[in-house]
Amino acid sequence: MITVKVKLLNKVGLHARPAALFVQTAKKFKSNITVIKNEQSANAKSILEILALGADYGDEIIIQADGPDESDAIKELLDLLEKFREEE
């Protein structure tokens, strides 16, 4: 299992379009991927669970991946979060 802590630095956090792209990316991997904010966790492959986290600008989230492609999943999701920040 790989666990990383990330600070959301894009203006809208994980809402609407960024959340949809995050989930779409997570679904490409076989690994189980979980996003944790405070004490609440969400399946990274569920748009409703990701939106329910209410992850906003400046929030710290933890991304955990466990499975055969966990390192690729973490890398691609971190790259995606960085890309969101650059698009603003």
pTM of the model: 0.94
Strand partners of residue 18: none
Alpha carbon 2 to its chain centroid, in Å, reads: 13
Active site residue 15: yes
Asked if 5 contacts 64 with a C-beta cutoff of 8 angstroms, the reply is no
Domain around 6: 2-86
Distance between CA 24 and CA 27 in Å, rounded?
5
Residue of 15, 46, 51, 75 marked catalytic: 15
**Structural domain count, the chain:** 1
- pLDDT tens-digit profile of 5-48? 999 998 889 988 999 999 999 999 999 999 999 999 999 999 99
Tokens of 8: 């959301």
Tokens of 86: 């650059």
Output the domain CATH number for residue 9. 3.30.1340.10
- pLDDT tens-digit profile of 75-84? 999 999 999 8
Distance between CA 23 and CA 79 in Å, rounded?
14
Residue 62 has pLDDT above 70, yes or no: yes
